[in-house]
């Protein structure tokens, strides 16, 4: 089955139809071309050629009179950091962003896919760091160009706000 666009989200338009879940890892949610199998065994080909799909939990990919195919983002091992203030938030985000790792945000916590060296680094710097299984659903995005020559960085702007 070929799918080229989302049809909505089950949280905004609940359905009483039979739900066939399409399990995705967090890093598959932005792939424009992907082949997977649903829990009911249907082969699915995603082809989002015009745009990034930004798939998330509950996105409806297909619907007919009896069933719907819905995205289910799978939990993964994560580093969870709950900064105590804006200074810590800026510092943690800077440390993680400096390693060009994806950042996620949920319930006042910063999440990143688990990497042992980063876990040890953040722990050694004194942050409260936890290893948990979580769904990575809300990526943090910035419009600031990294390492801009001579101009103010995102980190320096945040630091000014915390002083």
pLDDT at 155: 62
How far apart are alpha carbons 69 and 61 in whole angstroms?
6
pLDDT at 150: 54
Instruction: Find the CATH number of the domain harbouring 85.
Output: 3.30.70.790
For residue 99, give both structure tokens: 């390693």
Q: Are residues 92 and 16 in the same domain?
A: no
The series of mean pLDDT values per 10 residues for the chain, 163 residues long, is 89 81 93 93 91 88 91 96 90 86 89 94 93 91 53 64 64
The count of structural domains within the chain is: 2
pLDDT at 19: 92
pLDDT at 95: 86
Q: Are residues 80 and 143 in the same domain?
A: yes
Q: Are residues 64 and 136 in the same domain?
A: no
Residue spans of alpha helices (H) in the chain: 86-97, 116-124, 154-162
pLDDT at 159: 65
Residue among 93, 80, 163 nearest 129 (CA): 80
Question: Cα dist. 46→11, 13, 22, 28 in Å?
Answer: 21, 22, 11, 11
The residue count for the chain: 163
pTM for this model (two decimals): 0.76
Secondary structure tally for the chain: helices H, strands E = 3, 11
Q: Are residues 7 and 83 in the same domain?
A: no
Residue 68's domain comprises: 2-73
């Amino acid at each position: 089955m070929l799918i080229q666009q989302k049809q909505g989200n089950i949280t905004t338009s609940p359905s009483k139809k039979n739900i066939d879940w399409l399990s995705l890892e967090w890093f598959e949610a932005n792939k424009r071309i992907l082949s997977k199998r649903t829990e009911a065994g249907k082969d699915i080909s995603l082809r989002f050629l015009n745009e990034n799909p930004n798939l998330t939990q509950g996105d409806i990919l297909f619907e007919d009179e009896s069933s719907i195919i819905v995205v289910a983002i799978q939990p993964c091992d994560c580093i969870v950091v709950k900064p105590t203030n804006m200074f810590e938030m800026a510092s943690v985000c800077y440390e993680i962003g400096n390693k060009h790792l994806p950042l996620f945000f949920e319930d006042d916590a910063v999440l990143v896919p688990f990497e042992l060296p980063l876990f040890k680094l953040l722990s050694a710097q004194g942050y409260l760091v936890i290893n948990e299984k979580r769904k990575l659903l809300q990526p943090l995005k910035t419009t600031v160009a990294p390492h801009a020559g001579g101009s103010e960085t995102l980190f320096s702007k945040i630091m000014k706000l915390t002083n």
